[in-house]
Amino acid sequence: MTQPADTFSSYDAIGNREDLSDQIWNIAPTATPFMSRIARTTATATNHEWQTDTLTAASATNAVIEGDDATTDASTPTVRLGNNTQISDKVPRVTGTQRSNDSAGRGDEMDYQVALRGKELKRDVESSLLANNAKVAGNDTTARELAGVESWITTNTDFGAGGADPTGDGTDARTDGTQRAFLESQLKTVLAAAADAGGDPDFISVGSFNKQAISAFTGNATREISATEQALNAAVHVYVSDFGNLEVVYNRFQRDRSALVLDTNLWAMAVLRDFQSVDLAKTGDTDRKQMLVEYTLEARQEAGNGIIADLSTS
């Protein structure tokens, strides 16, 4: 059939209003699992420092003769470590005209851009804290950079052929080796080593591919189906080890080739300047804001943590 003659339809109309939803859909992830779990402390200089110490090995032969003169035990000094603060920023810029327009899904365009850039800034901080990156002191032409988690862990590690541990003081990055499959035996070895060193890991952080690898460990071979919900439980969210329960978390902002076995009590984010937004000077018919944070990572005792490095990612 055809439309009757002289029928005025929506195809002929000029003044119909547009149908634009007031909802703006954004699925970009914003969760920052590591930063959300570790402590916050204050930095008071661009080179943030702290000290570590340890006890001598336990002795099963500590027996002394009755009435003998006491022998002085040797003391060792603390170890002084430091990390450079890093400045991360986002700068939105919006014209005066756009701020005056009636925009769908938001009021003031600058407010909307500030909200977006703030979420992006948090993601950048999470990525930097977890990075395999050596610290950089910086100068007038080079930005300061912090040493991320991977460049600190050197004691309890498992890595592929050709790989190498960093020094453990933030001055160098981990050397990547040949990638291989993630095995439960690797995780057990690292957990035992961290426990023997005095650590109490409570957190396993992995990328998407190796999150699924953990769910396939034989320790989780028995799957359960809820009769009421008709759902198959095939994922591991808590790994029950011989040394305690560890939360298993998928983190989009770390290297997928590494499984981080962390005692979250042994890490902190030291903040010199907290998250802030500053209006920048006008140079024309635009408004600009600089959103920034200055921070670093405090590795309180790397020996209580571990890493399984050089894992397959596909």
- In a structure prediction context, what are the per-residue pLDDT tens digits for the chain, which is 314 residues long? 787 776 666 677 776 666 555 555 555 666 899 999 999 999 999 999 999 998 888 889 999 999 999 999 888 899 999 999 999 999 999 998 888 887 777 778 888 889 899 999 999 999 999 999 999 999 999 999 999 999 999 999 999 999 999 999 999 999 999 999 999 999 999 999 999 999 999 999 999 999 999 999 976 544 444 455 554 455 678 999 999 999 999 999 999 999 999 999 999 999 999 999 999 999 999 999 999 999 999 999 999 999 999 999 99
Residue 23 belongs to some domain of the structure: no
Residue 209 parent element (H or E)? helix 208-215
In a domain, 10, yes or no: no
Residue 17 lies in a domain: no
The residue among 89, 88, 92, 90 whose CA lies nearest residue 108 is 92
39 phi and psi angles, rounded to 5 deg: -70, 160
Question: Count of CB atoms within 10 A of residue 94's CB?
Answer: 18
Residue 196 domain flag: yes
Cα(82)–Cα(46) distance, integer angstroms? 10
In a domain, 273, yes or no: yes
Our CA angle for 243, 244, 245, nearest 5°, is: 140
| Predicted model pTM | 0.85
> What is the spatial distance between Cα 196 and Cα 218, in angstroms, rounded to a whole number?
24
| Residue 249 located in a structural domain | yes
Hey, what are 6's tokens?
A: 């002289």
* Domain assignment present for 183: yes
Which H or E run includes 308? Answer: strand 306-308
Distances in Å between the Cα of 3 and the Cα atoms of 7, 10, 11, 13 are 7, 12, 12, 15
Label residues 295-309 b or e (16+ Cβ within 10 Å = b).
bbbbbbbbbbbbbbb
According to DSSP, residue 219 is labeled G
Of 228, 6, 29, the closest CA to residue 119 belongs to: 29
Q: What is the DSSP letter of 71?
A: P
Measured CA distances, 178 to 91, 100, 148, 167, 206 (Å) = 39, 56, 21, 20, 18
What is the domain count for the chain?
Answer: 1
Q: Name the residue range of residue 189's domain.
A: 33-50+80-308
β-bridge partners, 40: 269
- Residue 126 included in any domain: yes
Cα 51 from Cα 135, distance rounded (Å): 17
How far is it, in rounded angstroms, from Cα 46 to Cα 43? 8
